[in-house]
Amino acid sequence: MEVIPTISCYLRLKLAKSVYSIGIVGATGAVGQEILNVLDRRNFPVGNLRLFASQNSAGKLVTFRGKEYTIEAVAPDSFTDIDFALFSAGSGISKDWRSHVVSAGAVMIDNSSAFRMDTDVPLVIPEINPDDLKNHHGVIAVPNCSTIIMLMAVAPLSQFGKIKRIVVSTYQAVSGAGAKAMRELEDQAAQYMRGEKAQPSVLPHPIAFNLFCHNSSVNEEGYNGEEWKMIHETKKILHDNDIAVTATCVRVPVFRAHSEAINIEFEKGRPPLDEVCTALSSFPGVQLMDDRESNHFPMPNEATGGFDVLVGHIRNDVSNPNAIDLFASGDQLLKGAALDAVQIAESMIEQGLVRSKSAQGVGYSV
């Protein structure tokens, strides 16, 4: 398992001579709105911008960098002048429009689960496996949010030897189920405080002051869909079919940012904890938060709104001489979705894998 860390390239993108035409499908959703936020925060060189959503949202206005843009319904010719088409509207929409994006010469960066396990579609966390982008055929998949947060904490430790097994338990915010689920948590909390019975409609069970198995279907092995994704996406991203992974994924009454308790077993002995801390703190996109004296470790309210995955509560597993335990929190809508998508576009530009359709002979260089 070779991990190739990369540094954030947004400062270099600011100096790029080219600008890039961006299309966002699902622009009015929670992830779509965060994509716009990330593009602005990272000074991405956006030239033309087109925003797409359902027919019900067509005609609405969205402001980006002081300019108003009109939401459009997607059409077969929507991607003709697009360089990057960032999709966050669900797997069905992604499947419906894939051929139109690819035939137009645009690159689809997809936040759904539609293509993650397709052999011809790279599944990419840019800090970990950016070289996989070189093998794309017009479509690149953003991994599951829980997989991203976990691997940002695990991948930096591969330098200490082969990782044999990962055991992870997740504490997943309702943001993973969308804006309506976030509103449902707020409404149910108010109902609970008034002594009223919560009435779930978005999620299958009451979520205020409660938690339950992740709201995805359970397969014949007994794993829910989220757990199954973490198992198999990890193998693909790390290029390691032998790594053993098991997951327990739980929905918790937190608005935003997922947290995970992770046990990492090495094949031959575990590294010293000070070296683990150094490896994590020096890895791009990870912030070490490990204060034993004050019992201050990663928390979702501190991860919310941040680009970094917070990692801490690092300790030796007293039951296994080859394993360590740690805890991580990361913003599901940012590094778990929108940020990773934008970083994929940045990495493609940095690697010279895409050329702006409006460049008029001017290429990207670093």
Is 249 one of the catalytic residues? no
- Quick one: three-class SS letters along 10-63? HHHHHCCCCCEEEEEECCCCHHHHHHHHHHHHCCCCEEEEEEEECCCCCCCEEE
How many CB atoms lie under 10 A from the CB of residue 6? 18
Q: Which residues share a beta bridge with 118?
A: none
Spot the catalytic one: 100, 136, 145, 313.
Answer: 145
Structure tokens at 216: 């995805």
Task: Please name the helix (run of DSSP H) or strand (run of DSSP E) that holds residue 264, with its range, or none.
Answer: strand 258-266
Q: β-strand 323-330 against 309-316: which pairing, if any?
A: antiparallel
Spot the catalytic one: 100, 136, 214, 258.
Answer: 258
Is 145 one of the catalytic residues? yes
What angle is formed at CA 22 by the lines to CA 20 and CA 339, rounded to 5 degrees? 100
Residue type at position 83: D
Taking only Cα atoms into account, the Rg of the chain, rounded to an integer number of angstroms, comes to: 21
Look up tokens 């490990």; give the residue.
290
Q: Which residues share a beta bridge with 62?
A: 69
Catalytic residues, which ones?
Answer: 145, 258
